[in-house]
Amino acid sequence: MDISIVIPLYNEEESLPELAAWIRRVMQEHGFTYEIVFVDDGSTDDSWKVIREIGQNDPHIKGVRFSRNYGKSAALNKGFEKVSGEVVITMDADLQDSPDEIPGLYRMIHDEGFDLVSGWKKRRHDPLSKTIPTKFYNWATRKMSGIHLHDFNCGLKAYRVKVVKSVEVYGEMHRYIPVIARRAGFRKIGEKVVQHQARKYGVTKFGLERFINGFLDLLSISFVTKFSRRPMHFFGSLGSLSFLVGGIISFWILAVKFFRLGGPDHRDVVDQPLFYLALLAMIIGVQLFLTGFLAELVSRNSADRNNYLVDEEAGF
């Protein structure tokens, strides 16, 4: 199969028939073999009923329905489990992502050898309250991840199937799939300018809180992907540094005490604020070191501690 299209959705009953027909037309025009996986993320309208209706007349359509709203990341992760196409395309169900972009995305994966291609909505049909925070968020993500994409959160993306089978998306990590993929070893990540359609039906399902959650998730994924298998390197380094600073300050206070012993400006060690700062630094250092030690024990007993991505195997 050439293409699998994963479409997470929540309360998009009006747009689904039009979207399915649009995808069908594009696939037939280019002669692709394909499947469409709709993942209903606990919709409260008739979205699931519409999916069942259009699926009865189209064998290419598959559907998954959650019992409640779990979020876009959970929907994408479930969709990735179901796909079998050579190239996996993700897109939103609100008709703001154009299916006409699919052939170009497919060629970049299939012909040009990219592992992942992210859409870039260079010209957006969104209010300033959404575009300005998005630009800041994308700038921060570029700086922290080292991946030079303009639009990390674009729902229109293409993946080599091996990528989606090698990564796990949870929480609100769907924004950081390029970051997760790169940490997993997929380094050929590209970008394609795509058309952004004005919303035709309904209203956006995302509020401003997504930017706060998104930044916290970026910190989380940066830490987990870098230190998940060696937590002692992080906590142990910080703990050792903190303990060393506390020790140096303590040594300096004691040296000053003995140097000024009996002098007019002599002060007891416990009368100096630096003594308590040094004591606090040493206690924090010990706690951080113990945290790293315990995390290392947990990591070494994890079931996936040696779950590394193998690109190829050969016998000689």
pLDDT at 61: 95
- CATH fold, domain 3-227, is Spore Coat Polysaccharide Biosynthesis Protein SpsA; Chain A (3.90.550)
The residue type found at 91 is M
CA–CA dist 126, 129 (Å, integer):
8
Give Dmax over CA atoms of the chain in angstroms.
97
91 closest CA partner among 2, 8, 13: 8
Residue 291 CB contacts under 8 Å (≥ 6 apart), including other chains: 235, 239
pLDDT at 275: 81
291 closest CA partner among 243, 211, 231: 231
CA–CA dist 154, 97 (Å, integer):
9
Are 2 and 106 spatial neighbours (Cβ–Cβ below 8 Å)? Answer: yes
Are 36 and 61 spatial neighbours (Cβ–Cβ below 8 Å)? Answer: yes
Residue 309 CB contacts under 8 Å (≥ 6 apart), including other chains: 166, 184, 185
CA–CA dist 118, 156 (Å, integer):
7
pLDDT at 203: 63
Q: How is residue 171 written in tokens?
A: 């929480």
CA–CA dist 300, 229 (Å, integer):
8
Are 178 and 143 spatial neighbours (Cβ–Cβ below 8 Å)? Answer: no
DSSP per-residue codes, 39-88: EE-S-SSSHHHHHHHHHHT-TTEEEEE-SS---HHHHHHHHHHH--SSEE
| Alpha-carbon distances of 120 from 32, 99, 143, 233, rounded to whole Å | 24, 14, 17, 36
CA atoms within a 13 Å half-sphere pointing along the CA-CB vector of 132: 3
Q: Which residues of the chain have pLDDT under 50?
A: 306, 308, 314-316
pLDDT at 232: 79
User: What one-character DSSP code corresponds to residue 31?
Assistant: T
- The predicted model scores a pTM of 0.72
pLDDT per residue as tens digits for the range 212-222: 666 666 666 66
151 closest CA partner among 175, 181, 116, 129: 175
pLDDT at 89: 97
- Helix or strand run (H / E) with residue 273: helix 273-300
DSSP percent split of the chain into helix, strand, coil, nearest 5 = 50, 10, 35
pLDDT at 315: 46
